[in-house]
Amino acid sequence: MMHTNERKKGFTLIELLVVIAIIAILAAILFPVFAKAREKARQASCQSNLKQLSLGFLMYVQDYDEQYPIASRFSPDFLVETAWDFTITYDGSYNVISAGDGLIAPYTRSKEIQSCPSFVATSVDRPHTGYGYNATYIGAASPAAIADIKFPAETVLLADSAIWSPFTNQVIGNNYLRAPGDACHCGPTVHFRHNATADVAYCDGHVKAVNRKYSTNSNDKSIADLSADDSAYDK
């Protein structure tokens, strides 16, 4: 009986290069898909946060004669700033001594829902959650009452929010939504951070993703307004 010795062959250099090229192509195709899927999961968590915050606002309204909380106010000596999502105490030189819960905290009982999972805030002297409250029409100096809101399903209560800082040339956290016609409007305040969409909570309690942008920030296209005029914010 004759025996033949067959030598096992390995991959040739060309075959290895072909395999590597195929893997690279698959990675280029799949990685963006995985990234979008991961962001979609974060967006679902963000929408859940906004839904729970909206319910917190509604519970607050029930306890305060159907009136919404003010977006922000100072004590008479200007040493304590109380906002919808934080309270800050300053010393005589206006350095921050402490930062605590805001007006809505007793109705949410969770700090986790006040933070968007897709946003890491940068702040100078105060906490930023990544969510902004409609300070122009709902949380104004004389806050709106439920009866004042004629179109609650079309009036924004909260939204993903950030602003562009011309001082640091970067996106920073923001707590207040300003309508385009607001005298304090210094640029768009809605952050379209979820695959080019922004999560928005409306005064009737529903939450949805919005992709229509107006007055986009020239330095960062992910920051824009929800309407060209005040219609998305006006009660």
Q: How far is CA 52 from the centre of its chain?
A: 14
Domain assignment present for 27: no
Domain count for the chain: 1
Instruction: For residue 81, give the amino acid letter.
Output: E
15 pLDDT higher than 80: no
The pLDDT value recorded for residue 99 is 85
Residue 99 to residues 61, 109, 127, 198, 220: CA-CA distances in angstroms? 24, 16, 8, 27, 29
Number of Cβ within 10 Å of residue 42's Cβ equals: 16
pLDDT averaged over every residue in the chain: 88
Which of 35-44, 147-156, 204-213 bottoms out in mean pLDDT, i.e. has the lowest? 35-44
Average pLDDT score over residue span 173-182: 94
pLDDT, tens digit, 9 for 90 and up, residues 63-82: 999 999 999 999 999 999 99
Q: Is the pLDDT of residue 131 over 60?
A: yes
Residue-number span of the structural domain to which 178 is assigned: 41-224
Residue 210 lies in a domain: yes
Buried b / exposed e along 208-227 (16+ C-beta atoms within 10 A)? ebbeebebebeebebbbbbb
Whether pLDDT at 13 is above 80: no
pLDDT at residue 26 above 90?
no
pLDDT at 14 over 70: yes
pLDDT at 144: 96
- Taking the C-alpha atoms of residue 186 and residue 164, their distance in angstroms, rounded to an integer, is 10
Average pLDDT over residues 123-149: 88
Amino acid 6: pLDDT? 54
Domain assignment of residue 234, yes or no? no
Evaluate whether residue 66 is within a structural domain: yes
DSSP code of residue 194: B
Return the bridge partners of 67, or none. 145
Residue 36 lies in a domain: no
CB 177 within 8 A of CB 233: yes
**Average pLDDT value for residue range 49-74:** 96
The confidence score (pLDDT) of residue 10 equals 62
Q: Are 58 and 205 in contact (CB under 8 A)?
A: yes
- The answer to whether residue 20 is domain-embedded is no
